[in-house]
Amino acid sequence: MPRTSRVKSNTGVYHIMLRGINQQIIFEDDEDNEKFLEILGICKTLSGFELYCYCLMGNHIHLLLKTVSEDLGKR
C-alpha cells in the first residue's frame, strides 16, 4: 500500500523517517552510522536545510529538519 502524499508544511519543518524494507537492518555498526552522517552533512551543505535533530537506529532513522531554500522533493 503506497503512502499518502507529503503535505507541504507552512513552517518548512518536517519529521522524516527512513526505514529499511521489511524492517531490515540498515546500520550494522558505527562505521555505517558515521558514513550516513557524512552523507547527511554533504546533503545539508548542498540543500541548505537546517537540521534540528536526528536519531539513527538499526533499522530506521528519524530526522527533524527545516527546509530553507529548497523543497524536500528537489533532490
* Reported confidence tier of residue 6, pLDDT bands at 50, 70, 90: confident
* Reported confidence tier of residue 7, pLDDT bands at 50, 70, 90: confident
pTM: 0.83
pLDDT digits (tens, 9 = 90+) for 16-49: 999 989 989 999 999 999 999 999 999 999 999 9
DSSP 15-73: EEEEE-GGG-----SHHHHHHHHHHHHHHHHHH--EEEEEEE-SSEEEEEEE-SSS-GG
